[in-house]
Structures are given as C-alpha cells and as structure tokens.
Structure 1
Amino acid sequence: MGKLSIKIVIAGRNYPLTINEGEEEFVRKAVEDINTNIQKLQESYAVKDMQDLLAMTSLQLATRSKPSPQSGDAGLEKEKILSALQLLSNSIEE
C-alpha cells in the first residue's frame, strides 16, 4: 500500500498527516470522535483551556480502548484506536 497525505483538524488546529492508503476512513473517524468528545466536555464542564480538554479527551479515549483487568482481551478495534491516537500524538509532536 502507498502513503496518503491528508489534513485533519483537531480542536480547531490543522495537522498534516501521512498515513497508509487504507487508513483514511479510520483516522477521520478517530478525529471526529476526538472533536466530539472535546465538544461534550466543553458543554458539560466549565473548562476553557484547550490543553485541559485535550488531556481529558486523551484519557477518556485511552481508557475506553484499553482492556480493564476484568475484561480480558481488548480486541482488534481497540488496538486500532490506540494506533490512531499514537499516530495523532506523533504528528502533533513533529
């Protein structure tokens, strides 16, 4: 598979990403989930700082995607979510 360059927007900021061709739909869905979660947090709490909202969103998405000691295997879907979060994290750090 080849690489694909896309632009995404998280919390109002643009990020260019290079992804594998088959990952675009998955990455865009992850971005949508992140932005939706940020919006829900803004509406539910008196948090205005975007850094705090991003940190809270990261924690919520990571804990949803990791298996709890009681639940056993997280499955492939959760691994994909973690992969997308790592991809976004790496892109933000660059």
Structure 2
Amino acid sequence: AFVLLWKLSLEPYMDENFVSRAFATMGELVLSVKIIRNRLTGIPAGYCFVEFADLATAEKCLHKINGKPLPGAAPVSKSHQSVGEQN
C-alpha cells in the first residue's frame, strides 16, 4: 500500500466517506482516508492522508485532481471586500 499526504480544501461536510467516494467517481480505489481535524472544533485542517494500493494509482489520482475541486464538492463562491476611506 502507498499512503499519500493530500492537501485539499476540505469543507466541514467532507468526511472520510466523501473523499473515498470522490476518488471512486474518478475510477480509483482508495484503501483508507484519514482526515486531520482541529482538535477543538472538529473542522478539517485542510489535509488528509489517502491510502492507495500502489504508487501508480496515487500518481494517477494526483494528476487527475491537481488544482481541481473534489468531484461532488459544492461550488465555492468567493466574495471580495474592499475597505476604503470615503472623501
């Protein structure tokens, strides 16, 4: 087995099952997922460990997901705020 440290933008609703299913929709088998959480709040810290059967599968997943949201993730809306002084 090969374990990969995966840096993702994990939202609070994303649990281990969500991450496993996301990779399954890409056709890849995940052996296990361990999401690292804030000990006080339980909110995901933004990364997880994903265990794959081998290095080739891990690399294939890395290339498929690199820079993209996980399949099934809710779209993120970004707002920009500006603070300034009015004359």
| TM tier, smaller | 0.3 to 0.5
TM-score by length of 1: 0.32
Instruction: Decide which structure has greater strand share.
Output: 2
Give the structure, 1 or 2, with the largest relative contact order (CA under 8 Å, sep 6 or more).
2
TM-score by length of 2: 0.35
Instruction: Decide which structure has greater helix share.
Output: 1
